[in-house]
Chains A and B, each alone.
Chain A
């Protein structure tokens, strides 16, 4: 572990020693020692699932560490719950905004602030006044007496930020606060964060965008697989180095080298529209081709994929598979036509948590395991076994609930499920999210093999390096529209980001890690 040599600001505010955390016996944080100082903005970076949010939640009393201690200005403290954290002056802005949709904005701002007796009177007038003030301070135009329900994700995030600021905390942890924000809002946020630092507060800033880290932060800590691998001044490391620290090896190793014949059009999408989510989406994917779909969070990529697969069908536009025009209204129909979809949210939309691996793998092919409507177990077992061998899924038994497998093996099982349907078009939405590095590269190989076998692949990913390494072409989406179709040669980080950034605001390109 490397330690910082220079220090920019004041004394240590909070120090973590030997913090470890297990979820159901699985260690996601290991012996983290880390100090935060007064008057610093401290970046926390790392791959998805590296443990950043978990660490933040331990600091703020959402989770309790399995081992380790926290000390506030040298004194050991217990942070058993968020309320205690609040009392100790620690506030967390959650990665996903935490709000109460039925309560007003003003009320959301004050809920959870330690205000004495629960039977005490609610000072409505003051709450509303303070809320207006907070909004003005942030320079955002949100009515404070409307229910939270009607607010956009970004506005909810701003309210969340306003809440933290109003709380007077000495330590404010921001878990990917900029993800849903427009550039203008990001700028406002930065200004406020800098002001807070100048007031001598400590800000922990979690982000995947190295640009932001560079623009804002004083020191940086890198997590990898639950381990703290580096802490130091931001100025002392370059981007290349940070990425190497994050993923544990150089980017170049990812590059998948292969060459396939690209065949005729397998998937053709024309003028797809779903008001409020996306419009005028037209593109095609050919046999043997891997097409990437890039964009910032909320660009609408997932919505397009869901529309193609018939989960939330588009309002207008056409979809053709292998030259046949189809109107997909149900995933069942899409599957029959040779489409397959690996969803983004594996836990909710991908796996059947408590069902066996076997039943999970064969879920999409009732016709193959039950030729006459009744399941033939030998047939099913054979199919599942074969898939497990082929995908190198690591498990104890086919009867094991899939929830017991690691994320990577769960994802492999879902891929196995789709391969049984022998799809001609495979849509994968963030297939490598939350998967460890080893399995990830296996996945890249598999995706390559699938393309080689003549399937058309649409790969949605927020990890730009991944897309750049794997794809023959990269489509870029921004604000629900397709903004670019870049060939392998044209596709560079800069080019992709330029197109991904919303045009409605001025924004410097950022890297989506």
Chain B
């Protein structure tokens, strides 16, 4: 409004010559570095808390419980970098998984039911995109609305019964191994790698950062802001439904309350990974590390039989602290 926010600062020539900070400093204050250090500290802490923790097999196995959230968090990272947010992912998982279950029960067979589920994911993502992009509503409040709506619809179509009896080949993805590593872990590694390369080196990845930094400037630079945002929301829906299917395989059954409260965990992972809540900054690497960090913390406390009460407190605190820390780092490096 007033000139207070006027950013067309005129710098006397002398200020142009400010030397950039040395490379090591740049790397050291990166939020991902902090996440990585946390990861090490948490691993040491967890091993100290319980003698049963330090067991690679167990950690990998525990990862499969958070795998679905972690994989959605990778896409959510990109959504948040683009300056939006999607809190409805856990509900999309539940609704698409419920649809999968209902369709399978209706005799569609696994492939048919999967198609229904994936299609529903795309539609839900597009619906969010429509409300945010075409209707110009803030994504955070839109997705709170659709969070309630999608979960409610899941309850309507699936009731509160558990739908199961899927064929044996479909179930237990978390208990299939390649070289002793559970398939979900491998999938997560590969997807992280692909998305990391995509976001870090592709032209569209670059544009996602630019959109998040300034959507108006992005539009003026000829970047297809709406198209890319639509793409991200749809990807969010699609990946959520994939995550729903993976959960169905892991649990051998689906119910409307699948992944309840998962949105918080997903946001937590992304925030822990150092993605900036206001958009424009963040990396897949950060989210990748943060997913492991969450697994280590949660698993460490669970195997030490620390009551869930303390766990909830720690996670809530962690979310707030990580936002504050990331914010501080980004504001500082802005200069």
Contacts and interface: CB of A to CB of B under 8 A. Distances in A.
* A–B contact at 8 Å CB threshold (below): yes
Contact of A363 (B1, B8, B223): B223
B224 interface: yes
A26 B203 contact: no
B213 A396 contact: no
A374 B203 contact: yes
Nearest to B7: A347
B2 A355 contact: no
B222 A335 contact: yes
A373 B13 contact: no
Interface in B199-213: 201-204, 206-207, 209-210, 213
Contacts of A404: 11, 15-16, 18, 335
A124 interface: no
A331 B210 contact: no
A399 B213 CA distance: 16
Given A331-B222, A334-B222, A394-B16, A407 B8 contact: yes
Interface string B177-218: 000000000000000000001000111101101100110111
Contact of A374 (B1, B8, B11, B202): B202
Contacts of A132: none
Nearest to A339: B222
A348 B16 contact: no
Nearest to B214: A352
Contacts of B209: 355, 359
29 contacts: A26-B10, A57-B2, A98-B2, A331-B220, A331-B221, A335-B222, A341-B220, A348-B214, A348-B216, A348-B217, A349-B214, A353-B214, A354-B334, A363-B218, A364-B221, A366-B206, A370-B203, A374-B203, A375-B206, A394-B16, A394-B17, A396-B16, A396-B19, A396-B20, A400-B18, A404-B15, A404-B16, A406-B12, A406-B16
A405 B9 CA distance: 9
A404 B202 CA distance: 26
Given A334-B222, A354-B213, A374-B203, 10 more contacts: A353-B7, A353-B213, A354-B280, A359-B209, A364-B221, A366-B207, A375-B202, A396-B20, A406-B9, A406-B12
Which of A25, A57, A359, A408 counts the most chain B CB atoms within 10 A? Answer: A25
A373 B204 CA distance: 8
A434 B222 contact: no
Contacts of B17: 394, 396
B220 A352 contact: no
A433 interface: yes
Nearest to B213: A352
Contacts of A334: 222
B219 to A, nearest CB: 6
A366 B223 CA distance: 9
Interface in B147-196: none
B206 A359 contact: yes
Contacts, number: 152
A434 B9 CA distance: 8
Nearest to A433: B8
B6 interface: yes
Nearest to A225: B10
Interface string A18-36: 0000011111100000000
Interface residues of A, number: 64
- Which bracket fits the contact residues of B? 35 or more
Contacts of B201: 374-375
Contacts of B15: 25-26, 404, 406
Contact of B224 (A330, A359, A417): A330
Nearest to B12: A26
A367 B207 CA distance: 12
A396 to B, nearest CB: 6
A406 B10 contact: yes
Contacts of A9: none
Contacts of B10: 26, 28, 49, 406-408, 434-436
A239 B205 CA distance: 54
Interface in B1-35: 1-4, 6-13, 15-20
A54 interface: yes
Interface string A336-373: 00000101001111111111000100011011011001
Contact of A98 (B1, B13, B218): B1
Contacts of B223: 332, 363
A407 B9 contact: yes
Contacts of A179: none
B205 to A, nearest CB: 8
Nearest to B17: A396
A305 B80 CA distance: 32
Contact of A369 (B3, B18, B203, B217): B203
A311 B203 contact: no
A250 interface: no
Contact of B20 (A62, A63, A399): A399
A94 interface: yes
B214 A364 contact: no
A96 interface: yes
A86 interface: no
A412 to B, nearest CB: 11
A79 to B, nearest CB: 15
A112 B335 CA distance: 34
Nearest 5 CB-CB pairings of A with B: A406-B11, A347-B7, A366-B203, A370-B203, A335-B222
B189 to A, nearest CB: 20
Contacts of B335: 24, 404
A469 interface: no
Given A349-B216, A434-B8, A400 B20 contact: yes
